[in-house]
Amino acid sequence: MKLSLAPIQGITLAHYRNIYSEIFGGVDSYYTPFIATSSLRKIVPSIYKDIIPQNNNNNIDIIPQLLSNNGSDFNFFASTIADMGYKEINWNIGCPSHTVTKKKKGSGILAYPDMVNKFLDEVCTNKQYDLTVKLRLGLNSLDEGINIIELLNNYPLKSVIIHARTGIQKYEGTVNLESFEILNSLSKHEVTYNGDIFTNEDFIKIKNRFPMVNSFMIGRGALRDPFLPSTIKGIITPTSEKIAKIKEFHDFIFNHYKKVLYGDKHLCDKMKEFWIYTSVHIDPSGKFLKKLKKCNTTSVYLDIIDKMFDTSNLWIE
Ligand SMILES: Cc1cc2nc3c(=O)[nH]c(=O)nc-3n(C[C@H](O)[C@H](O)[C@H](O)COP(=O)(O)O)c2cc1C
């Protein structure tokens, strides 16, 4: 059984993946947040900084992800990435953001099977890496997802990852397991399940419902509870050790952003993003998160964090 960390733009970047794997483990593969391709045929280092091997621990499995609807652009970016030594690249056709979908990218392309066909014809000729695809149930409806899965069956993909919502659902409502089941049964490729695994009980429920699925991708659940992947793998961290590990995790992320961001406000804003997820088990009443949301200086920030670690010395399951 394989577990992967879902890409979360702005959060699961190289420093986050590196320290996550060191402190918490339990994750077999880390997908990077997407890099959007463009018609640029020059290697601009800032575009690739999250995936260059120097920024990534070389003992963890990293799968770079590209967002694109243009096969020739994709080929340029993918061959640059393959030249860095990556053996697998993921194509994002699941992003639900309106700014992306209106350009027929991300889940927007799911409504245009001819574009997907053209793209894959161009990309699957002579590619030097394994290609995986991350998609949703469809943009508007399952019918679109069915068309796309049947079309993907014609190409040499390593696997497909299905987030069990439609694009227009964004992150609202619930995952649709009946629709996931239909796509899973139609796919000739290995399928990874993705969506709303927040606890070990959620995982067990999904695993029992789909015993034939052996690969699971976890996003927000693994950010909220970084012990979740290892717990699923049967590794139990005593509650008494959890707070110390979260503090070590926080301090690393904080010091990283202190080095790379300019000014207190940027630093505080970035750390608020971190705590939106990570506070769930340490500050279940939301008392400290509420205070954090209002803070704009590092000294106030650190004061709130110190109090939170002092008073919330319990990890609430
Ligand atoms: C803020 C945010 C950013 C995301 N960025 C990406 C991304 O760059 N690439 C991608 O494929 N999915 C992205 N996702 C989707 C997640 O990878 C994942 O599919 C989604 O959160 C559902 O899984 P979960 O319920 O386990 O969180 C993002 C989700 C969120 C909430």
For 165, the 3-state DSSP assignment is coil
Question: What percent of the residues of the chain are helix, what percent strand, and what percent coil, each to the nearest 5?
Answer: 50, 15, 40
Domain that holds residue 256: 239-311
- For residue 141, how far is its CA from the centre of ligand 1 (angstroms)? 19
317 or 305: which carries more pLDDT confidence?
305
**Res 317: pLDDT:** 67
Q: Is 317 part of a structural domain of the chain?
A: no
What integer is the mean pLDDT of 190-202?
98
Atom of ligand 1 nearest to the CA of 6: 17
Residue 228 has pLDDT above 70, yes or no: yes
Q: Is 71 in the pocket of ligand 1 (CB under 6 A)?
A: no
What integer is the mean pLDDT of 124-141?
97
Kindly state whether residues 46 and 15 are assigned to the same domain. yes
Angle at 101 between CA 100 and CA 105, to 5 degrees: 75
Q: Is 138 in the pocket of ligand 1 (CB under 6 A)?
A: no
Q: Is 136 annotated as a binding residue?
A: no
Q: Token digits for 299? A: 């000294």
Kindly state whether residues 210 and 253 are assigned to the same domain. no
Report d(CA 158, CA 129) in Å as an integer: 10
Q: Is 220 in the pocket of ligand 1 (CB under 6 A)?
A: yes
How does pLDDT run across 18-40, given as a tens digit for each residue? Answer: 999 999 999 999 999 999 999 99
- Between 136-140, 179-183, 225-229, 306-310, the lowest mean confidence (pLDDT) is in 306-310
User: Hey, which of 3, 8, 134 would you mutate to test ligand 1's pocket, going by the most ligand atoms within 8 Å of its Cβ?
Assistant: 8
Q: Is 32 in the pocket of ligand 1 (CB under 6 A)?
A: no
Q: How far is CA 267 from CA 15, 38, 276, 296, 298, in A?
A: 15, 29, 14, 8, 8
DSSP character at residue 111: G
- Between 138-142, 159-163, 258-262, 285-289, the lowest mean confidence (pLDDT) is in 285-289
Q: What is the mean pLDDT of the chain?
A: 96
Report d(CA 109, CA 299) in Å as an integer: 46
**Res 250: pLDDT:** 97
Q: Is 145 part of a structural domain of the chain?
A: yes
Q: Is 284 part of a structural domain of the chain?
A: yes
How does pLDDT run across 268-314, given as a tens digit for each residue? Answer: 999 999 999 999 889 988 999 999 999 999 999 999 999 999 886 66
**Res 94: pLDDT:** 98
- For residue 9, how far is its CA from the centre of ligand 1 (angstroms)? 7
**Res 138: pLDDT:** 98
**Res 58: pLDDT:** 87
Cβ atoms of residues 51 and 83 within 8 Å: no
Report d(CA 292, CA 268) in Å as an integer: 8
Cβ atoms of residues 194 and 162 within 8 Å: yes
The rounded percent of the chain whose pLDDT value lies above 90 is 95
How does pLDDT run across 49-68, given as a tens digit for each residue? Answer: 999 999 999 899 999 999 99
**Res 200: pLDDT:** 97
Residue 147 has pLDDT above 90, yes or no: yes
Q: How many domains does the chain have?
A: 2
Kindly state whether residues 144 and 260 are assigned to the same domain. no
Which CATH number do you get for residue 168? Answer: 3.20.20.70
Q: Is 63 in the pocket of ligand 1 (CB under 6 A)?
A: no
Residue 1 has pLDDT above 70, yes or no: yes
Atom of ligand 1 nearest to the CA of 134: 11
User: Hey, which of 9, 68, 175, 224 would you mutate to test ligand 1's pocket, going by the most ligand atoms within 8 Å of its Cβ?
Assistant: 9
Q: Is 6 in the pocket of ligand 1 (CB under 6 A)?
A: yes
Q: Is 219 annotated as a binding residue?
A: yes
Q: Is 279 part of a structural domain of the chain?
A: yes
Active site residues: 95
Atom of ligand 1 nearest to the CA of 90: 11
Kindly state whether residues 107 and 142 are assigned to the same domain. yes
Q: Is 64 in the pocket of ligand 1 (CB under 6 A)?
A: no
Kindly state whether residues 249 and 201 are assigned to the same domain. no
Report d(CA 193, CA 186) in Å as an integer: 14
What is the band of 258 on the pLDDT scale with cuts at 50, 70, 90?
very high
What integer is the mean pLDDT of 189-207?
98
**Res 313: pLDDT:** 63
Nearest CA to ligand 1 atom 29: 8
Final residue belonging to a domain, choices 217, 232, 247: 232
- For residue 299, how far is its CA from the centre of ligand 1 (angstroms)? 32
Largest CA distance in the chain: 58
How does pLDDT run across 66-81, given as a tens digit for each residue? Answer: 999 999 999 999 999 9
What integer is the mean pLDDT of 200-217?
98
**Res 160: pLDDT:** 98
Report d(CA 303, CA 100) in Å as an integer: 39
